[in-house]
Structure 1
Amino acid sequence: MHRTSRRLVGGLLALGVTVGVSACGNDSADTGTDAAAEGGWSFTDDLGTTVELEEAPTRIAGLNDLTASLWNYGIEPVATFGQTSAAEDVAFEGKDLSDVAIVGSAYGEIDLEALAAADPDLIVTTIYPIDSSGEIPEDTPGYGFNDLAQQEQIAEIAPIVTIAYRGSAADVVERVVELADALGVDTEGGPVAEARADFEAASQTLTEAAGSGVSVLPVFATEADGWWMAKAADDPQLALYQELGVEFVDPGGEDYFWNSVGWEEVPEHPSDVLLYSLRFSMTPEEIAAQPTAALLPAVQAGQLYPWKYIGPDYVAQAAYMVELAGYLTEAQKVT
C-alpha cells in the first residue's frame, strides 16, 4: 500500500565493509549491474547510485517487500523491516523466520541497533514516485524509512540499494531478477527458470480468466477514513494485471495512487468484484456491516476477495495471479 495512506493509519558506525557510493542522478543513469574492478562487486540502482564493495554481499537486510522476493530466489535475509511484522506479512508465508531479525513492524520505525547487530553487507529497499509521471525527486527517502535523516543513519550500517516501484510490475520483477543475479543467483536456470515459466503460465491463466469481463475494484477500507480506492495504472502490481486483461474500475479523483471518499459516497463506485487489502483494511464482514457498503453489488453478491500485496518476483506474483484468476472465474457480473 502506498505510503500516503499508511501515514494516515547517536550515529552508527559502518560495520567492517569498504564501501564506495557514487550518486549519478535520478532517472538518467544506466541502471544495470556492473563488475567492479579487480574482482570486487558493484550494482547501480534505480536512483543511479552505484554501490561498490570489495566482495559480493551475502548478508542482506531490508524492506519486507524486497527481502521476501530475494528469499524466493534463495537469498535468506539476516534482517527485515516493513509496515507490518514479517511474521504477519503474507509475503513470508511458509518461511522459517527463526534466524531472521525482524527489526521493524511499523512504517519508519526501525530498530537501528538491532539492524546493526544483524551485521548486513547490503540493505535493499524500494521507492515510489511522487505522482503518475513516475518521477522521483532527488531528496525522496526510500520506502520504509521515516525520513532522510533515518536513511542516512541506516546507510552507515550498510550501503543501500533502491529499486523503483513504478510502471508495470513486469519491469520491477525483471529488475529484482537483475539484483538477484548480481548477488550470485543463477537466474537463467534451475529454480529461477522454473519460477519464470510458472509466472508466464500464470499470466496466461489470468488473461483467460479476465476474459469474463467482470469489473474489479481494489480497496483499502477504514471506519475512520472511509474508502480508499486504488488506481490500477499507479500501482505496478495492479498495472501488470491490467496489462493481462483484468478490468479495473477507474475510481476517478485527481490524487496519485488513490481516490479516497467518505462512506456516504461508496455506493457511487460499484464493481462486480471487490479486492480488500490485507494490510490494515477492514475485513469483508466489517465492510458488509457498513450500511452504504452493503448497497454495493459486489458486497450483495458476496464477491469480496483478498488483495495481497506481495513482492515483485516470479514466485509470489505467479501464485497470486493464479489465485486472482480463480476469483475472476468464480465471480459473476452483477453490475
Structure 2
Amino acid sequence: MIMHPLPEGVPLRRTSRRLLGGLLALGMTVAVSACGEESTDTTGSEPAEGGWSFTDDLGTTVELPEAPTRIAGLNDLAASLWNYGLEPVATFGQTSAEDDVAFEGRDLSDVAIVGSSYGEIDLEALAAADPDVIVTTIYPVDSSGEIPADTAGYGFTDQAQQEQVAEIAPIITIAYRGSAADVIERVVELADALGVDTGSGTVADARADFETASEELTETASSGVSVLPVFATEADGWWMAKASDDPQLALYQELGVNFVDPGGDGYFWNSVGWEEVPNHPSDVLLYSLRFSMTPEEIAAQPTAALLPAIEAAQLYPWKYIGPDYVAQAAYMEELSGYLSEAQRVTG
C-alpha cells in the first residue's frame, strides 16, 4: 500500500522547481516509445534486436542496449524487487526507506534515499545514483480502474516532475489495480525481464509460501470476524478504506476476509468526522502504519473509545507492503494470527 492513494487533506511537501539543466548534459541516451492503440500487449518484455525491452502497464516500451542492472524507484515496488534479489540503487516514497516497514531488516548503506516525503525527490541525488531504469506504480482515478493518459505515476506530484525524472532514466510503471494477486504476477514478469530466475529458487519458494499463507488466511477468516482498515488523524477524523479499491485488501477479501463496507461514493476511502465514528463498528480495526494515529491515540478519542473493537483491544497494524510473494505471505501470516485470536464483538 499499501501501497494506496493518500487521503485527501493529507499535506504533500512539494519538491522544489529547480531547473536542473545539468541533468540534460549527463549524456544519458535511452529509447522510450509510447505504444498507442496499435499496441496493447503489456504482458511482459520482448527482446529488442541486440538489446533489452519491456512494455509496462501504460503501454510504454522501454528499450535499452542491454538489460538494466541499476534500478531505482518507489519504495513499494523497489522493496518487492529486492525481495527477489534486485537491490535498488536509490529509492523514494511517502516515507524514507529507513522508516518503511517494507525494508525492515535490510542494509540500506548502499541505497541512496532520494525522497522521504510524497513528491519530494532530490533529482541531483537520483541522477548521481546512475540508475538504468526507474520503477513506480500508478493508481486508477476511480473504481472503474481507468488510468487517463495524463495521470502521473505514484510518487510524482505531477507530469512535469515525472518528465524531469525521466530525463535521468526511463520509467517503468506497474498499475496497482484489481487484485494484488494479478499485480504480484506482473511484478514477477518484470523481475523475470530483469534477469531473475522466477521459475525456481527464491521466487518459487516465495510463491509456495504465499500459497500456504493464502490457505491459512482463508481458514482463519472463516470465523467471520468483521475487519475495518482505517487511517486516523486528529484533525480530519476517520478515513475508512474500501477493500474492493485497494488491491492488497481486495486479495484478502477474495481469500475470505470479511471487510466492513464503509459506504460513501468516493474512490478508495470514505471519510467521516470523529462524531460519526461510532456509526462504523467492526470486530477488528486495522490501523495504518503510515501517518495515522497510534492505537493509544485512537483509543483516547472519546467517540472511538465506544467502538467494539477498541473496547475489546482488537486493534492491529495495517502494513502497506509491496506486491510480491515474500512480503504478502509474511503479512498474511500476521493477519491470520490477528483473526485467529479476535472474537466477534459486534451485534
**TM-score tier (shorter):** over 0.9
Is 1:70 aligned to 2:81, yes or no? yes
Structure 1 residues 7 and 96: alpha-carbon distance in aligned structure 2, compared to 1, 3 A threshold: farther
Which residue pairs with 1:57 in the alignment? 68
Distance 2:280 2:9 in 1: 24
1:80 to 58, 82, 91: 91
Distance 1:324 1:108 in 2: 30
- Any conservation in 1 of the 2:48–2:63 contact (CA below 8 Å)? no
Which residue pairs with 1:90 in the alignment? 101
Which residue pairs with 1:103 in the alignment? 114
Distance 2:174 2:48 in 1: 23
Q: CA deviation at 1:5?
A: 1.4
Distance 1:31 1:230 in 2: 29
Aligned residue pairs total 335
Which residue pairs with 1:194 in the alignment? 205
Name the SS of the counterpart of 2:49 in structure 1: helix
Distance 1:22 1:333 in 2: 54
Name the SS of the counterpart of 1:152 in structure 2: helix
Which residue pairs with 1:212 in the alignment? 223
Distance 1:99 1:51 in 2: 26
Which residue pairs with 2:251 in the alignment? 240
Name the SS of the counterpart of 1:68 in structure 2: helix
Which residue pairs with 2:163 in the alignment? 152
Name the SS of the counterpart of 1:22 in structure 2: strand
- Any conservation in 2 of the 1:62–1:81 contact (CA below 8 Å)? yes
Which residue pairs with 1:31 in the alignment? 42
- CA RMSD after TM alignment: 1.4
Q: Which moved more, 1:296-305 or 1:13-22?
A: 13-22
Which residue pairs with 1:172 in the alignment? 183
Which residue pairs with 2:7 in the alignment? 5
Q: CA deviation at 1:248?
A: 0.0
Q: CA deviation at 1:20?
A: 1.4
Distance 1:294 1:78 in 2: 44
Q: Which deviations, in whole Å up to 9, do the C-alpha atoms of 1:98-122 show, x marking residues without a partner?
A: 0000000000000000000000000
Q: Which deviations, in whole Å up to 9, do the C-alpha atoms of 1:204-259 show, x marking residues without a partner?
A: 01000101100000000000000000000000000000000000000000000000
Which residue pairs with 1:272 in the alignment? 283
Q: Which moved more, 1:209-218 or 1:29-38?
A: 29-38
Name the SS of the counterpart of 1:31 in structure 2: coil
Please give the TM-score of this superposition, normalised by the length of structure 1. 0.98
Which amino acid in structure 1 is aligned with residue 65 of structure 2?
Answer: E
- Any conservation in 1 of the 2:287–2:318 contact (CA below 8 Å)? yes
Which residue pairs with 1:287 in the alignment? 298
Identity %: 84
- Provide structure 2 residue ranges, at least 5 long, that are not aligned to the other structure: 12-18
Which residue pairs with 1:223 in the alignment? 234
Q: CA deviation at 1:16?
A: 4.8
Distance 1:319 1:153 in 2: 36
- Any conservation in 2 of the 1:217–1:248 contact (CA below 8 Å)? yes
- Provide structure 1 residue ranges, at least 5 long, that are not aligned to the other structure: none
